[in-house]
Amino acid sequence: MAKDEPRKGGRRDFLANLALGIAGLLSVGGFASRLFGFLYPVVPPEQLVEVPVATRNQIPPNGGMVVNLPTGHVAIVDAGGELRAFSAVCTHLGCIIKWQPAARSVWFCPCHKGTYDLDGHVVSGPPPRPLKRYEVAIREGKVYVKIPYRPPVLPA
């Protein structure tokens, strides 16, 4: 071997290649973990929570109302003395429905003119599905509704 030729495969080259290889593996691993976290997020399970929505006197006889809660919007209707509760979110594009007392006593979506009957079934318009129905309980003059709630995910 001549004096002017550089040595190939020395200890310094080996350590430099080793450091670059480890750094490359760590960066690919970090990227892969972020990618999988984005594609498959951690979602806590949905829980049924009973919340007070109104007093019995606030709901008009044979009428309905929409209650805005921190956990969601709830539509309550008095159908001949029986209280029924539904999600107040239209199944078409997510608008909040309104009670329409004059026109056949129906729920009405102002966005695209979809209507639902007293059972939450679609009467007309573009909504593809009926409204989701919730359980109702009356205790001591207060109306309680069991609605699904998903707690927020706190950042790690």
Q: For residue 30, what are the β-bridge partners?
A: none
What is 47-149's CATH topology?
Answer: Rieske Iron-sulfur Protein (2.102.10)
Query: In degrees rounded to 5, what are phi and psi of residue 30?
Result: -65, -40
One-letter amino acid identity for 42? V
Distance between CA atoms of residues 143 and 87, nearest Å: 15
One-letter amino acid identity for 77? V
Q: What is the pLDDT along the chain (156 residues), one digit of tens a residue?
A: 556 666 677 888 889 999 999 999 999 999 999 998 889 888 888 888 888 988 888 888 888 899 988 888 999 988 888 889 999 898 888 889 888 877 666 888 888 888 888 888 888 888 889 999 999 998 998 999 998 888 877 766
Residue 50 belongs to what H/E stretch? Answer: strand 47-55
Distance between CA atoms of residues 123 and 107, nearest Å: 9
Do residues 147 and 48 touch, judged by C-beta distance below 8 A? yes
Q: What is the pTM of this model?
A: 0.69
